[in-house]
């Protein structure tokens, strides 16, 4: 069976190469393209071209000493675009597998509305991606000693050479966020959600590409792991909230970590770019050697990071205000419902007392008539 990402099974098969056909069978079509690339590795004529798509390019072997062996490092180049394209196809296939075999089954059981359905799918996909990225990025931080030695974030700049895991991490990050663009079409994203998703996809691509090309890969790795961990907590909290609306404690923890994360991001950025790189000896622009440590680039990097953090804080404040208003409205509705339930009881009690008074008056009048008679 092929991988099919369809929301509503239709009795009639859509016409070939129609929009509905491509959406229903996009995972099969993409998997065929990926298989063609992999089959190219089997033949000598096409292997030279297929290798560019599958394996990492621009490796440099650093000879070792008597105590250590030689180590292979990598730098970036134009051929990385081919690897990003191939792993973008792989991301589309994995996206369809998670959607069909995990999220769609949960959606059928929970019977979500259209709004909750789209948000649940979004949080489910991003939770898997953020979880894997946090574990992968954290292992790179510990193995390359970036946590134990924070000075390595700016010492020895430009950091043109990367380990295999570090470069592969960046290739997969770019591939994932590029794959999110066609997924807006494949998943039939709502028109009101497309601008929001385009903004955050564009911000991810802009910052990841900037850190990769400006040889700020160490700082970018630290900031990505920090940001992904906070976003992972948010999307897990949203998944739990959709399953049971009483589960809202996760949002409180996320709100505190979100503010701390913005402060840590600004602190690390200013320390690395504003102080560390500003105090380096080599501050001459040299594209060939990968040195971008000049005043204009440093100001541009800090301005981009500060503007992004300010934009995120603005969205965060609006989100909290909206939640507060919704919570207040629900409380007001509960109070009104309680008042409306109590009102008829009071009216019935008053009517009952009036009826007893009239009945007692009538009985007394009858007694007086009987006595007079």
pLDDT recorded at residue 357: 42
Whether 9 has a pLDDT exceeding 50, the answer reads no
* Model pTM score: 0.85
By the 8 A CB rule, do 169 and 221 touch? yes
By the 8 A CB rule, do 265 and 309 touch? yes
pLDDT recorded at residue 195: 93
Whether 244 has a pLDDT exceeding 70, the answer reads yes
pLDDT recorded at residue 324: 85
pLDDT recorded at residue 303: 97
Phi-psi region of 85 (alpha: psi -120 to 50; beta: other; left: phi over 0): alpha
- Tens of pLDDT, residue by residue over 39-91, are 999 999 999 999 999 999 999 988 876 666 788 899 999 999 999 999 999 99
Instruction: Return the bridge partners of 286, or none.
Output: 291
Higher pLDDT, 6 or 95: 95
φ, ψ dihedrals at 248, nearest 5°: -125, 5
**Distances from the Cα of 293 to the Cα of 73, 75, 268, angstroms:** 22, 18, 17
- Tens of pLDDT, residue by residue over 101-146, are 999 999 888 888 888 888 999 999 999 999 999 999 999 999 988 9
Mean pLDDT of all residues in 295-307: 96
Whether 19 has a pLDDT exceeding 50, the answer reads yes
Distance of CA 267 to the CA centre of its chain: 23
pLDDT recorded at residue 111: 83
The span from the CA of 234 to the CA of 134, in Å, is 14
């Amino acid at each position: 069976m092929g991988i099919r990402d369809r929301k509503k099974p239709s009795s009639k098969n859509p016409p070939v190469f129609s929009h509905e056909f491509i959406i229903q069978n996009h995972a099969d079509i993409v998997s065929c393209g990926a298989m063609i690339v992999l089959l190219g590795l089997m033949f000598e004529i096409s292997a030279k071209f297929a290798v560019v798509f599958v394996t990492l390019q621009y490796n440099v072997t650093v000879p070792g000493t008597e105590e250590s062996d030689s180590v292979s490092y990598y730098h970036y180049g134009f051929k990385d675009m081919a690897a990003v394209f191939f792993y973008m196809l792989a991301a589309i296939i994995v996206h369809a597998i998670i959607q069909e075999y995990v999220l769609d089954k949960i959606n059928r059981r929970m019977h979500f509305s259209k709004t909750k359905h789209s948000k649940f799918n979004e949080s489910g996909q991003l939770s898997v991606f953020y979880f894997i990225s946090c574990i992968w990025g954290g292992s790179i931080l510990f193995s390359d000693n970036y946590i134990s030695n924070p000075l390595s974030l700016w010492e020895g700049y430009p950091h043109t050479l990367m380990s295999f895991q570090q470069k592969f991490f960046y290739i997969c990050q770019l591939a994932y966020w590029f794959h999110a663009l066609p997924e807006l079409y494949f998943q039939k994203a709502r028109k009101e959600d497309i601008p929001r998703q385009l903004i955050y996809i564009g911000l991810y691509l802009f910052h990841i590409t900037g850190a990769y090309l400006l040889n700020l890969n160490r700082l970018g790795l630290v900031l990505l792991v920090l940001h992904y961990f906070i976003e992972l907590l948010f999307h897990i909290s949203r998944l739990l909230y959709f399953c049971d609306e009483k589960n809202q404690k996760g949002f409180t923890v996320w709100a505190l970590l979100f503010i701390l994360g913005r402060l840590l991001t600004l602190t690390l950025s200013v320390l690395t770019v504003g102080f560390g790189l500003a105090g380096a000896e080599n501050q001459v622009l040299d594209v060939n050697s990968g040195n971008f440590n000049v005043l204009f680039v440093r100001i541009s990097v800090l301005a981009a990071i500060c503007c992004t953090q300010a934009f995120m804080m603005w969205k965060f404040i609006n989100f909290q205000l909206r939640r507060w208003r919704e919570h207040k409205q629900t409380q007001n509705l509960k109070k009104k419902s309680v008042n409306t339930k109590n009102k008829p009881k009071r009216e019935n009690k008053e009517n009952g007392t009036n009826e007893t008074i009239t009945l007692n008056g009538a009985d007394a009048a009858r007694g007086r008539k009987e006595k007079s008679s």
